[in-house]
Amino acid sequence: MKRVIGIMSGKGGVGKTTISVNLALAMHRLGEDVMVVDADLRNPSLGLHLGVFDYDLTLHDVLEKDMPLIEALYIHPTGLKFVPSHVSLHYLNIEPSKMLKAFSDVYATTIIDSPPGLGDDALAVMQTCDEAIVVTTPHLPDVAGALRTIEVAKAMGVRIMGIILNSVKGKGYEVTAAELEAVSGVRVLQTIPWDSEIPKSISLKTPVIEHNQVASSSIAFYEMASKITGLNYDKPNLIGLRRFMKTLSKIV
């Protein structure tokens, strides 16, 4: 069934691309037919997260040449289907208004990594989506941006599936999930803990759930994927012991 889900944020730097990649891969591994699309036309980074830098066709070409989206589809070694965007400065002025038509014939669940903020490109993605998930960290400036994004999405008639509260350390100065739900009127779909395995995985150009499936963030991504798809996820057995053994093997 066609389902277009936008991963959105009011500000950059909240982990939106990391979430898009790992959520889509977790959904894929649970059995969902899914693809992830980099719709940040001016500052794309999906390919960097996946370690893929050489591609002939991208979302930019789809928009510029009025091509079917499937022609820019690639399959990562993990099995994840993805559509990248060009990193070249040559493509900075691509008109995002054709976004709605580009996604009109998608055949699978589609996760769109949206540009941050509320510019024309982000609004074009928002118009394309059936549903939106808003990403924020537990810090006030990011929360304020998330609230603005939620209000605009609601005004455009986009269903807000929930909020992802990312990079949570559990400190007293952080906005809690309960506080965020109270001020936004939207449920927190998933809390993702701060996890040093994420920057490690980014440096290795591989999703964290591929890098370390028992990492706390990996478990959170799978739990979120299960909520969205309705597909069952069983946590790995002996998580604590497996994490200890993995750490020990690095030391030895």
- Collect all residues with Cβ–Cβ distance below 8 Å to 161 and sequence separation of at least 6: 5, 131, 132, 133, 189, 228
CATH (one of 3.40.50.300, 3.50.50.60, 3.30.1330.10, 3.40.50.720) for 3-251: 3.40.50.300
What mean pLDDT do residues 14-21 have?
Answer: 98
pLDDT in tens, 125-170: 999 999 999 999 999 999 999 999 999 999 999 999 999 999 999 9
> Regarding predicted confidence, which is higher, 89 or 43?
43
What mean pLDDT do residues 182-209 have?
Answer: 97
Q: How many CA atoms lie within 13 A of 143 on its CB side?
A: 20
List b or e across 152-184, with b for residues whose CB sees 16 or more CB atoms inside 10 angstroms: bbeeeebebbbbbbbbbeeeeebbebeebeeeb
Using pLDDT thresholds of 50, 70 and 90, give the confidence band for residue 236: confident
Mean pLDDT of all residues belonging to the chain: 91
- Collect all residues with Cβ–Cβ distance below 8 Å to 199 and sequence separation of at least 6: none
Quick one: residue 173, left, alpha or beta (phi over 0 = left, psi -120 to 50 = alpha)?
A: alpha
Task: Judge whether residue 248 has pLDDT over 60.
Answer: no
Portion of the chain with pLDDT greater than 90, in percent: 79
How many residues belong to the chain?
252
Q: Are 90 and 47 in contact (CB under 8 A)?
A: no
- Helix/strand/coil for 7: strand
pLDDT for 55 equals: 87
> Regarding predicted confidence, which is higher, 99 or 34?
34
Task: Judge whether residue 252 has pLDDT over 60.
Answer: no
Q: Give me the residue label for tokens 């309705």.
A: 230
Among residues 11, 23, 10, 222, the alpha carbon closest in space to that of 112 is found at: 23
pLDDT for 86 equals: 86
Question: Residue ranges of the domains in the chain?
Answer: 3-251
DSSP secondary structure, 136-187, as one string: E-SSHHHHHHHHHHHHHHHHTT-EEEEEEEEEE---TTSPPHHHHHHHHSS-
Residues in a beta bridge with 35: 81, 110
